[in-house]
Amino acid sequence: MGEIVSGTALAKKVKQGVAERVKECEAKYGRVPHLVVILVGEDPGSVSYVTGKARDCGEVGFKNTTLKYPDTVSEEELLAKIAELNSDDNVDGLLVQLPLPKHISEAKVIEAIAKEKDVDGFHPLNVAALWQKQPCLLPCTPQGIIMMLKEAGVEIEGKKAVVIGRSNIVGLPASKLLLDHNATVTMAHSRTKNLAEVTREADILVVAIGKPKFVTADMVKPGAAVMDVGVNRNPETGKLCGDVDFENVKDVASVITPVPGGLGPMTRACLMVNTLECFLRKQDK
């Protein structure tokens, strides 16, 4: 059976490291990093993510402000608030929880957040910097994937990595980070022909689709490291599950991440890392 890498345990370790640095920040700069999270509407998934982020801020010793707006808020009002927070020196990190109601352009909102406060790493300038190998904030989930692989002792360099999914938030940047670690990367998506043939080649398989139990044991090369990003509801039990058929794939893989308790907590831990980074960059200016 493969090693099950706990994102919960690694996230705890990462957050402890951040918490220690926060104490130093307070002594040296007289204040702690401040993360502002904007929540629009009451989507249960978004409410739960935002609650988790606030809890993590408390754990590491950040100041956290969650600003809640009804889903009827206008784009104009939201953009005006973002502009105000951009120019507030006491705000180090700023994010707007996605998805947003249809009348608000997510692209406009992402672009409105100051690049220096863009803790999610979604701003076009941060994305461009990532693809041009310039200093940037690494998007949280892909950063978490690399940390999980390292924690499990998986060698990335020279390995064949397959990433299923090519979203701006997960698949594309995850592929880029694996490439930067010298893996040979194949990006698969909904039009990929003979997907199982492609995935069976992978030493490292990253799955970010959003379909419960989509990756079955016969799609995985024996000994592969499998990183399951998906967050779904199991249609039979209603419980949280990933994109990978965990029960069967764990017997084939050498390393596998569980859902829940895998990349979810790691994504939030990386958000803490990025917020600290934004704070420190500002102090060093």
Q: Is 171 in the site for ligand NAP (CB under 6 A)?
A: yes
Is 53 designated active site? Answer: yes
Q: How far apart are CA 185 and CA 198, in angstroms?
A: 11
**167 three-class SS:** coil
Q: List Cα–Cα distances, 68 to 42, 78, 104, 125, 277, in angstroms.
A: 9, 11, 15, 27, 25
By beta-carbon proximity to ligand NAP, the closer residue of 81 and 121 is: 121
Count Cβ atoms within 10 A of the Cβ of residue 3 and give its class: 0-12 exposed, 13-18 middle, 19 or more buried.
middle
Could you tell me which stretch among 68-76, 99-107, 209-217, 272-280 binds ligand NAP (CB under 6 A)?
Answer: 209-217
* Shortest Å, Cβ 264 to ligand NAP: 4
Q: Is 195 in the site for ligand NAP (CB under 6 A)?
A: yes
By beta-carbon proximity to ligand NAP, the closer residue of 25 and 122 is: 122
Tokens describing residue 194: 């003979």
Which one of 61, 139, 230, 258 is in contact with ligand NAP (CB under 6 A)?
230
By beta-carbon proximity to ligand NAP, the closer residue of 25 and 273 is: 273
Q: How far apart are CA 207 and CA 215, in angstroms?
A: 8
Could you tell me which stretch among 26-34, 111-119, 146-154, 261-269 binds ligand NAP (CB under 6 A)?
Answer: 261-269
Q: How far apart are CA 271 and CA 53, in angstroms?
A: 8
Size of the site for ligand NAP (CB under 6 A): 25
Q: Is 263 in the site for ligand NAP (CB under 6 A)?
A: yes
By beta-carbon proximity to ligand NAP, the closer residue of 65 and 168 is: 168
**106 three-class SS:** helix
How much is the CA Rg of the chain, to the nearest whole Å?
19
**97 three-class SS:** coil
Residue labelled with tokens 């995985």: 220
Q: Which of 56, 92, 120, 203 is flagged as catalytic? A: 120
By beta-carbon proximity to ligand NAP, the closer residue of 86 and 105 is: 105
Q: Is 141 in the site for ligand NAP (CB under 6 A)?
A: yes
By beta-carbon proximity to ligand NAP, the closer residue of 94 and 263 is: 263
* Shortest Å, Cβ 168 to ligand NAP: 8
**153 three-class SS:** coil
Is 218 designated active site? Answer: no
Count Cβ atoms within 10 A of the Cβ of residue 85 and give its class: 0-12 exposed, 13-18 middle, 19 or more buried.
buried
Q: List Cα–Cα distances, 46 to 37, 140, 222, in angstroms.
A: 11, 16, 36
DSSP letter, residue 99: P
Q: Which of 53, 176, 221, 250 is flagged as catalytic? A: 53
Is 193 designated active site? Answer: no
Helix (H) / strand (E) containing 38 = strand 34-40
Q: Is 231 in the site for ligand NAP (CB under 6 A)?
A: yes
Q: Is 267 in the site for ligand NAP (CB under 6 A)?
A: yes
Q: Is 143 in the site for ligand NAP (CB under 6 A)?
A: no
Q: Is 174 in the site for ligand NAP (CB under 6 A)?
A: no
Question: Which residues are known catalytic residues?
Answer: 53, 97, 120
Interface contacts to ligand NAP, rule CB under 6 A: 141, 164-167, 169-171, 188-192, 195, 208-211, 229-232, 263-264, 267
